[in-house]
Structures are given as C-alpha cells and as structure tokens.
Amino acid sequence: EKGGHEYFMLKEIEEQPEALANTLRGHFESGRIILDEQRISDQDLRDVDKVFVVACGSAYHSGLVAKYAIEHWTRLPVEVELASEFRYRDPVLDRDTLVVAVSQSGETADTLEAVRHAREQKARVLAVCNTNGAQIPRESDAVLYTHAGPEIGVASTKAFLAQIAANYLVGLALAQARGTKYPDEVAREFAELEAMPAAVQKVLSTVEQVRDLGRRIADSKAVLFLGRHVGFPVALEGALKLKELAYMHAEGFAAGELKHGPIALIEDGLPVVVVMPSPKGRAVLHSKLVSNISEIQARGARTIVIAEEGDETVRPFADELIEVPAVPTLLQPLVSTVPLQVLAAEIARTRGYDVDKPRNLAKSVTVE
C-alpha cells in the first residue's frame, strides 16, 4: 500500500503532480474561475476590501506563500495569521473582510474557532479544505476543496502543495470579481498553474540525489534555511518538516535578516539550505541571495542550494546544488518545496525515526 516505498510520505511526495492536477480540475470553466460552494453573492465578493488567511502549521505557510500572489493580483491587503493568535487578538473585521481558513483536515480546533470568531464579527469566510464535509467548510460561506486525496503521513506534503494551488485560485477568483485582472489574464495565470504538475514531476527526478544528500548530513546538529520573497515561506516549511520528522533544530529565515542576527549562528560545516529565486525573474532578488550565500560560505557554512536549472551564477557558492525547473516566480514554491520534503524525510529515516508517525504529533489537532 506504500506503493513500493519505505514510507508513505515518499509515496505522497510522488503523488504531488496528481494532487495539483486534481485540485485545479474543473475550476476554470467558460473563461471563469469557479469555487466549489459559494453561499455569498458575487457582489459581496466584489466588495471585499481586506483578506485574512488563518491557519496552523504547514497550512499557515501555504497562506504566507499565497499572500504574494493575492496582493499582486487583487491589490487587496492580505494578512496571514496563525489561527491560534488571530482569535485571541481583537482583529479588525467587518462584512467586507474575507477570511480564508486553510485546513487539510477541516477539523483543526484553532482554525475552526477562528472561523467562528470571524463570522460573529460578520466577516465572510472561505474555507480551503482537503476533507469533504468537515466542520470548517460546513461553517464557511464558500468552499474550495483541495483534491490531494487522503494524506497518511502526519507531515503534510501533497496537501500543502494543493493548498498553495487552491489559495492561488482564491486570489484569481477575487481578481476576476474585482476586475483587477482582465479575463484573458486570469486565463493565462490559470494556464500557468496547469503547467505545474509537469514541473513538479520533473523535480521528482532529484529524489535520489536529495536522499543521498540527506544521508550525508543526517548527523548535523542543526540546519538553517534561507529564502527571500516567496522563497521565505518555503524556508519556513523546510525547517518545520525537519523539526517534526528528524527532531533536529531547524530554522527558516528571511535571507535579508541574516545580518540582523542569524549570521552569528553560522559555524564550520553547518548545513544551510538556500532557496534561490529565478535568475530570470527579479534580478535584484537573485543577486542579493547570491551575495548572502557567498557570505555564509565564507564563514564556513555548508551551502545546499535549490536553484533553477541553468543558473550558473550560484554554482561557485553551492557545496550541493539541487536544480529545479524554471517556472514563473510566484509558482516557484510548488517546485522548490519538494526537495525540502525529501530531505527531511530521508534525514529522519537515516536517524532511525518513523517518518510517517513522528513522535508527539497527531494528524488532526482537534484540541487547542
């Protein structure tokens, strides 16, 4: 049942192209993005003037990724918040606020309570969920289901990629309702999303290279992850995977923060994973990260660089280079996260841990 794999997580990592394709299917018909259930009017969707994404763990990271796309496409302010923090603040919500609740299980207690709080304040709630008929979608005004299929591994992989895709569809639905994107632009963005399953399939050809790397660095004391722009939440997700599976100290940082503290952690041989943006995207982002890598390498870090194939400028600074296919900047997290999932799983396996059932964790967190 593990499809010939030693652990479910690897099977689920390999199912990601399918999870993405299934999540996108049927959501662009007759030139329009459509949700699964919409119990709010088109007019109300058009009137939205602010978006909150609330979620926990990896689902929260999917929201951090989506913020870049949703703000860019809709020109609406987007705040992404941990559900457990959101509900104990006094967030400013009204009927023109859209709260996007992202949850694989649809039963996470903190996210559910955040949904209830938002609705009491008259905000509209849209659920992004992987479980049909779960409590969070039942209590929401609109639903977009991810179709990653059941996820057995406790650490989220295919559901996470599907959440990013679904959050992007929410962004496009808002852009379409508000008219901040012309129909042909929405169609083009959707077509780019549709090309992602094939791109993720290509990344899977790096699995054996990454597993080999994982075995070689499995006895490290800690691993740091750096990224900028959409690569920053990818770094956070890579660190979370490593903590929960390999019980190792791991932290993700925004690369621009290095000089403000984290660079003091760099010591001889410390593995640092760097998520590179495309050299063909915003040149300034790329060149800043190249200089970050050279700084940490000069201080003895062992640099593990996730970069676009053909990116020659990073080669001299990469002790280990993992190449991912070229995709539009906003879609890069869908490819660059994959090697980080494999890395965490293989380090955990090498250290003798149960990759599918990490200690102290439950698949669905129904208590606060």
Residues annotated as catalytic are: 363
> Segment contacting ligand F6R (CB under 6 A): 54-62, 195-203, 337-345, 349-357?
54-62
The answer to whether the beta carbons of residues 249 and 221 sit under 8 Å apart is yes
**Rounded to the nearest whole angstrom, what is the least distance from the CB of residue 362 to ligand F6R in the complex?**
8
Verify binding: residue 140, ligand F6R, rule CB under 6 A: no
| 104 lies in the binding site for ligand F6R (CB under 6 A) | yes
Judge whether 99 and 69 are in contact, CB under 8 Å: no
Instruction: Quickly count: other Cβ atoms within 10 Å of residue 191's Cβ.
Output: 10
DSSP 7: S
Q: From the list 23, 58, 167, 206, which residue makes contact with ligand F6R (rule: CB under 6 A)?
A: 58
Nearer to ligand F6R, 108 or 297 (CB): 108
- Identify which of residues 266 and 365 has a Cβ nearer to ligand F6R in the complex: 365
Complex with ligand F6R: residue 17 or 137, whichever CB lies closer: 137
Q: In what order do the strands lie in the sheet with 142-145?
A: 37-38, 142-145, 124-129, 97-103, 50-55, 78-82
- Whole-angstrom distance, CA of residue 271 vs CA of residue 274: 10
Q: Residue 152 or residue 365: which is nearer to ligand F6R going by CB?
A: 365
3-state secondary structure of 355: coil
Using DSSP, state whether 257 is helix, strand or coil. helix
Q: Does 161 bind ligand F6R (CB under 6 A)?
A: no
Q: List C-alpha distances in Å: 273 to 229, 303, 306, 358.
A: 15, 6, 7, 22
Q: Does 23 bind ligand F6R (CB under 6 A)?
A: no
The contact mask relative to ligand F6R for 177-216 (x = CB under 6 A, - = no) is ----------------------------------------
Q: Which residues bind ligand F6R (CB under 6 A)?
A: 56-59, 103-105, 108, 111, 155-156, 240, 244, 364-365
